[in-house]
Amino acid sequence: MKNTKICSAVRSFLEKFIELATMALFLWLLFVGIYAFYDAQNVNDSGKLDDEIIEVATKSGITTDSDDFSLDELKKLNSEIVGWLKLDGTAIDYPVVQAKNNEKYLARDYKGDFATAGTPFVDYRNNKITDPFTVIYGHRMKDSIMFSDITRFADKAYFDHHMSGTLYTEQGKYKMEVLGFAVLNLGETDIYNINTYKGNASAAWNTFKKSAMYLSADAENKASGAKLVLLSTCDKDSRHKRDVLLVKLTK
């Protein structure tokens, strides 16, 4: 009889323990889910331009695609803003910055404040966007934030219908023409060795085309003697790869 009561008490204790543990697990999973949603939303929001810079860009003639534009007011927001990049038909429409290293804007917005999505930036070894070959980096985020849309160029139909853009710089306004798309393996390319290629766009072109998935019509002739920019973002499948567009600039 005594053993029966003990067994009953133990069983009751275990049932309550399991009930409490189940409730605790449910609450924990609920908390994790809410936090994950909030964190994802916060990351996406950090990649959206606020009203202030949109207003300044509009007054500066950038959002209106004016030939009479200026970066002066943008540089008052941050002296490290060196341009504005728009790729037609995509969500890529952002200010471009440059710091003394390639780490600063990995997690900072155009003002230099913390932002998970970062800001597109020119490699610190380039002379702003004046070199024959320049590299501009941007994160691959969800919902077409930052340089995410570059990965869509892996689809040939998308590539064929998104061939143009505009790059505003302190030296003037450039028409961008997409020459090719590639997925680069960091262990097999040295194109990110800026000091080797920034003064030699022809060498950069020869290196790029070896890995190109797609090239535009007559890309070889278009690249000859041209000023080139590599737009680079992370590949969705491997941290050792980069999805890139090579574009030609025409002032």
Task: Render each residue's pLDDT in the chain as its tens digit; 251 residues.
Answer: 555 656 666 566 666 766 666 666 655 555 544 444 444 444 445 568 999 999 999 999 998 888 889 999 999 999 999 999 999 999 999 999 999 999 999 999 999 999 999 999 999 999 999 999 999 999 998 888 999 999 999 999 999 999 999 999 999 999 999 999 999 999 999 999 999 999 999 999 999 999 999 999 999 999 999 999 999 999 888 889 999 999 999 98
Q: How far is CA 163 from CA 10, 141, 169, 186, in A?
A: 72, 22, 20, 25
Measured distance CA(251)–CA(229) in Å, rounded: 13
Per this entry, what is the length of the chain? 251
DSSP 103-161: SGGGSB-TTS-B-TT---EE-TTS-TT-SSEEEEE--B-STT-BTGGGGGGGSHHHHHT
Task: Calculate the CA dihedral of residues 3, 6, 7, 13 and round it to 10 degrees.
Answer: 180
In a domain, 124, yes or no: yes
In a domain, 37, yes or no: no
Q: 126: domain CATH number? A: 2.40.260.10
In a domain, 227, yes or no: yes
In a domain, 139, yes or no: yes
Measured distance CA(186)–CA(145) in Å, rounded: 23
In a domain, 96, yes or no: yes
Entry pTM: 0.83
In a domain, 17, yes or no: no
Number of domains in the chain: 1
In a domain, 121, yes or no: yes
Q: Are 140 and 150 in contact (CB under 8 A)?
A: yes
Neighbour tally for 83: CB within 10 Å: 26
Q: Are 103 and 123 in contact (CB under 8 A)?
A: no
For 242, phi then psi, to 5°, come to -135, 135
In a domain, 40, yes or no: no
Domain that holds residue 87: 51-250
